[in-house]
Structure 1
Amino acid sequence: MRRSLAVAATVAAVVVAGALWLGRSDAPTAAMPSDIDIAQGQTLYAANCAACHGADLEGQEDWQTPGPDGRLPAPPHDQTGHTWHHPDQVLFSYTKLGGRALMAEQGMEFDSGMPGFGEQLTDQEIWNILGYIKSTWPERIRETQAVRTEGEARSRENKQ
């Protein structure tokens, strides 16, 4: 029960922060660009993400249970995790800013172990990593995530 509540709270916080960040005038495009380099994304993933999220995108053990520090371990980015539940822009923002900084921008205190990579990676490199991750998902999951991304983009357009 405690495990489910922790995961639900984390997912809800990420979605809320991502949605709020999307409303900013300086937020980048809400959808992944078309010029993704999946091979570079795979290389960048191995160098920057695999240490926490696993070489095979499997995440850390017991990723749904907070550790002794109260933080949730790194989730899987394969189809068994919740990464695909989020629209592209939420994934991009969380990666660029990091969990704690993204939440702080929204006035929320959230102890996330996800660092921001905005100073180490370009926006295109972040998109390439996300493109690689998405390329590993089964077609059904890619389609579901694309619908969520489209819905978020429409919502953003309606707010402007």
Structure 2
Amino acid sequence: MKKFPVLALVALAAAVGAYGGFAFLHQGSAGMLRPDDETVVARGELLYARNCASCHGKSLEGQPDWQTRDKDGFMPAPPHDESGHTWHHPDQLLFNITKLGVVKAANLKDYKTRMPAFEGVLDDGDIIAVLSFIKSKWPKEVQRRHDELNRVYARRTQEAQR
């Protein structure tokens, strides 16, 4: 059984800086997502149902055996609930993966994925709404941990730019 390569995760995290860091991060915010904004979350829920649920599941459960490549070498769609790894990544990386696709966001030329890039399909506000909806479904403790991840990432990004 082949697990998601650790190198790919490292490359994904490293790629965030290459695409603008926390371009949408507001001063004092834990990140760009707005899981407490009912209007944004409701819009995100509709967009998720239309664009994401067919692969990632109606209840964010992902595809079975999502950590093992399928017979064609593709990684199945991971869950976006707390059982998956979505909340282990800062907002900007989640945004970049959604907008640009995994391959471009992480510069992984040989990575096989069925996840499309949503640039030109969803605008930036739509992507933030979808990701905000996903985050709104996580338990509050997971949301707090994700907020802290965003704060640490933002601090490290600012330090690296000095």
Q: TM-score, length-normalised on structure 1?
A: 0.85
Q: Which residue pairs with 2:120 in the alignment?
A: 119
Paired residue total: 152
In structure 2, what residue type is equivalent to 1:21?
A: Y
Question: CA RMSD of the aligned region, Å?
Answer: 1.9
Q: Deviations over 1:34-86 (max 9, x none)?
A: 56610000000000100110011000011000011212100000000000000
Q: How does 1:1-160 map to 2 (within 5 A)?
A: 2-4=1-3, 6-23=4-21, 28-30=23-25, 31-32=31-32, 37-104=40-107, 108-109=108-109, 110-160=111-161
Contact map agreement 1:45 1:129 (CA 8 A) in 2: yes
Q: Which runs of 4+ in 1 moved over 4 A?
A: 33-36
Q: Choose between structure 1 and 2: higher helix proportion.
A: 1
In structure 1, what residue type is equivalent to 2:125?
A: Q
Q: Deviations over 1:111-152 (max 9, x none)?
A: 232211111111011000010000000011101111111111
Tell me: CA distance 1:90–1:124, structure 2 relative to 1, closer, same or farther (3 Å): same
Unpaired segments of 5 or more residues in structure 2? 26-30
Structure 2 Cα separation of the partners of residues 79 and 145 of structure 1 = 11
Structure 1 Cα separation of the partners of residues 115 and 84 of structure 2 = 15
Tell me: CA distance 1:114–1:145, structure 2 relative to 1, closer, same or farther (3 Å): same
Structure 2 Cα separation of the partners of residues 141 and 60 of structure 1 = 21
**Percent identity for Structure 1 against Structure 2:** 41
Q: TM-score, length-normalised on structure 2?
A: 0.84
Unpaired segments of 5 or more residues in structure 1? none
SS in 1 for 2:2: helix
